[in-house]
Structure 1
Amino acid sequence: MTVVIVSTGGTIASTEDDGEDGAAPELTAENLIASVPELGDVASLRTRDFSNVPSAYFEIEQMAELASEIEAYDADEEVDGVVVTQGTDVLEESAYFVDCWYDGETPVVFTGAMRNPSLPSPDGPANLLASVRTAADESAEERGALVCFNDRIHAAADVTKTNSMNVDTFRSPEVGPLGAIDEDRVVWFRERASRPPALDPDPDRITNDVHAVTVTADMPIAQIEAAADAEALCFAATGAGHIPPSIIEPLESVAGNGVPLIATTRCPEGRLARHTYGFRGSEETLRKLDCYFASENVQKTRIETIVALAADSLDVVFERP
């Protein structure tokens, strides 16, 4: 059983440097492995130092490169699982990017840490051990990209970071985790509801020019107008799909420029309504705007849109009620 540890940086790889005010990514994948001797009892390990940057530095092109490398590992008969270590700030976006891009069988597990190794009780070593156990488990095959934190296993499509500092930050609102680590055992609670449709994205068409906006009370229309020449505009509407009337005309203008509109809800649970309300600015207005309806949070909706655009598959990925 061979598991590849792909290190990208983040808190799990951070240390405090003399002369610096705080921790910064410096540790390699080999350093991370050395801190958890028990890993050798679970699987044979290979390492790949993909990058060493803070999570917020991680770019869309790097996500695409990472997804392509994971596809190569899936084609390697000697690799049984992949664990990606990353900073937590955009981890849910990276994991979901891979989930949308990758349709292989080899388990892929994302993890990281909320406490760097210089702090009391760092959580990185335990998260890494739990993730390798998950990646080495045959039942993890074909479940798509997973996120393992605090001994819980989540589907990339479901999970989100819920707390800025707490080690129990990654949760799957509404649906809960797929499984957990009990001692040295991987325990599965349920199957994931579905995986994103298999796509064939063109790496040369990957772009970060997809805007994402959260709708707020009496928001300035400039936030919408800024997307006039974008590749797409994703927005998180209030409640079940409601927007202030002041942004309807700007949305019409953006759509008139040929910019696809993808709507979701800003609520952590639930989805957009279809036919409950009919006032101007309700979900009925979103339908008249010919919006695509998404079911993920706005940050993951943006990721899904980026991959779908690269595969010329917006109509496959999203529905227009």
Structure 2
Amino acid sequence: MKRNEFLQKGLLATGALITGSSLSASTKAGTMTADGKPFNLNYGPHDGQFKNLAGNSFLDQIQFMYDQGFRGIEDNGMSGRPPAEQEKIGNLLSKLGMAMGVFVLDKGGNGANTLAAGKQAHVDIFLKGCQQAVEVSKRCGGKLTTVVPGDFSRNLSIEIQTANVIEALRRGAEILEPHGITMVLEPLSDTPDLFLRTSNQTYLICKAVNSPSCKILYDIYHMQRNEGDLIANIERTWSEIAYFQVGDNPGRNEPTTGEINYKNIFKYLHQKGYKGVVGMEHGISGKGKTGEERLIAAYREADAFM
């Protein structure tokens, strides 16, 4: 399932109602009452996660996020937005002092364009995406772009596939590094056809690429499904991790809705000194304004680790 399809479906999901929340909320005029105190970590919501409380405009949603204490965003679809809109988002983030998390590299690797195959046409598409990312970064201020190397090329050995991926990523890093942009490689659990599956595998590739512009995106939802032992695996690969995303499992909704102890994980990240955005790449367990209020309450609960 594509990321934008997942987010659209996730935001329509049904589930838990607000329980035990200390959040003070008011739905008058579609707004909420909150002190706006920043969180201990820099959680980054997506476009659409507060559309019922703040309206359909992403700019209005960003202002609402700030008012609720969020100090970052991420936007997988940033590369597909018109340049003027990218600039407006970047200007608002700068005005509010908010951080831009990841945006997905255009055609940064998928089943039809796998870097593991070693085909020049696939590499050329990837490199064109890297060049585009430089321009997107200038407009929105984002310095992190997500790359998924694509599917296995099963007619080749795993060693040859790995070498092909490393070579392509080295060429991408040559484009991004002068501009201070980091591509973050994301191992996924969506299908066993995907080449990149674990943090250890991604760690090896980043070490081989050997560039500050090639690091790991550790998505805790995906890694819970693929490898578990979350904190230990984060610790082992810490030197190559540049970004985190979250989602509880099962269900891929907000923290507190599944089996992952996010309060402990967030405490660990805080103790490690992580200052980047923690991307909220997940759906919402409830519907409408109530679901969005529950989303905020869930992050307040999981963030209460001090």
Under a length normalisation based on structure 1, what TM-score does the superposition of the two structures give? 0.29
More strand by share: 1
More helix by share: 2
